[in-house]
């Protein structure tokens, strides 16, 4: 069998994809030929413009669907409105940092809902479509924090460990059905949000850009380099390729060696 990464004719739904990693993954999947459905909880001109830009650059169908991933009904409605879902990328995520005894309950609930429960709902809605199509890929964006922990990130670490578990169960329930489920575990990725934190960190630590990036932000990332959204997108394309047809129920770290420590 020829090994291909051509995703022509497939439809990919990427949650939380109007910025950062989700948008990077959507762009790479579209470059590989997939039609893409972008999503977030807003409904701005810019959101729809992103889809139009991807459609015109990549020659695929692209649209933006508003759905709030903190709400189970919205998660399921997203897949229903998409109509097809050969590739599901569960990427939407938020973060909050505080000690367990001070962790706001509403933040805990929101992180578990958006970073974990949303993937349960979208997967539940997408699997029947994948089974009908006889092919599918579930790609969950976990984190190095799906495999290891840091203090003050209880909800995030719990949700990311949880999504690694959900990935394994999804893989087992779909084994032998040409449907795989895997989790990508990024370390620190250079997204606009991370980029925006650099000036503040330089001020706080009285360091130049290179030093603050190397010694503060990438303290746990042995490569001392950020991963990029393009690399995450390329990893997602690989997981959709024929080469990855027998890779299922596992994690792929894109973390510059973080979890090897």
Give the C-alpha distances (Å, rounded to integers) separating 62 from 52, 53, 257. Answer: 7, 9, 35
Whether 152 sits among the annotated catalytic residues: the reply is no
Per the CB < 8 A criterion, the answer to whether 167 and 238 are in contact is no
β-pair type (11-14, 251-254)? unpaired
Residues 154-183 that bind ligand NAD (CB under 6 A): none
Query: Among 34, 32, 27, which residue's Cα sits nearest to residue 11?
Result: 34
Which H helix or E strand runs over 254? strand 251-254
User: Which bin fits 181, alpha (ψ -120 to 50), beta or left (φ > 0)?
Assistant: beta
Interaction between residue 136 and ligand NAD (CB under 6 A)? no
Interaction between residue 194 and ligand NAD (CB under 6 A)? yes
Interaction between residue 114 and ligand NAD (CB under 6 A)? yes
Interaction between residue 193 and ligand NAD (CB under 6 A)? yes
94 vs 245 by CB, closer to ligand NAD: 94
- What's the alpha-carbon Rg for the chain, to the nearest Å? 18
Nearest distance from C-beta of residue 111 to ligand NAD, angstroms? 9
Nearest distance from C-beta of residue 28 to ligand NAD, angstroms? 14
Q: Could you say which of 64, 152, 156, 188 is catalytic? A: 156
Interaction between residue 91 and ligand NAD (CB under 6 A)? yes
Residue with tokens 């001070």: 102
169 vs 193 by CB, closer to ligand NAD: 193
Give the C-alpha distances (Å, rounded to integers) separating 114 from 5, 56, 107, 172, 199. Answer: 30, 30, 10, 23, 28
**Interface mask toward ligand NAD for 57-76; x: CB under 6 A:** -----------xxx------
Binding site for ligand NAD (CB under 6 A): 16-22, 40-41, 68-70, 91-94, 114-115, 141, 143, 186, 188-189, 191, 193-194
Catalytic residues: 156
């Amino acid at each position: 069998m020829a090994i291909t990464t051509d995703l022509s004719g497939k439809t990919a739904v990427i949650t939380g994809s109007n910025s950062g990693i989700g948008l990077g993954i959507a762009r790479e999947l579209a470059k590989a030929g997939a039609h893409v459905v972008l999503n977030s909880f807003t409904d701005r001109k810019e959101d729809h413009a992103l889809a139009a830009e991807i459609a015109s650059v990549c020659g695929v169908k692209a649209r933006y669907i508003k759905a709030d991933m903190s709400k189970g009904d919205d998660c399921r409605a997203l897949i229903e409105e998409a109509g097809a879902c050969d590739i599901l990328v569960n990427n939407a995520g938020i973060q909050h940092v505080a000690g367990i005894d001070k962790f706001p309950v509403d933040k805990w609930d929101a992180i578990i809902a958006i970073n974990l429960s949303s993937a349960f709902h979208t997967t539940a809605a997408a699997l029947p479509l994948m089974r009908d199509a006889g092919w599918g890929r579930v790609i969950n964006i976990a984190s190095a924090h799906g495999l290891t922990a840091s203090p003050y990130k209880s909800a995030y670490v719990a949700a990311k460990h949880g999504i690694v578990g959900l990935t394994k169960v999804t893989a087992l329930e779909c084994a032998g059905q040409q449907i795989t489920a895997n989790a990508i575990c990024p370390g620190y990725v250079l997204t606009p949000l991370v980029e925006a934190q650099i000036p503040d960190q330089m001020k706080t630590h009285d360091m130049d850009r290179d030093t603050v990036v190397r010694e503060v932000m990438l303290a746990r990332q042995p490569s001392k380099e950020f991963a990029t959204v393009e690399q995450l997108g390329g990893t997602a394309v690989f997981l959709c390729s024929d080469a990855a047809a027998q890779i299922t129920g596992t994690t792929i770290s894109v973390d510059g060696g973080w979890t090897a420590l």
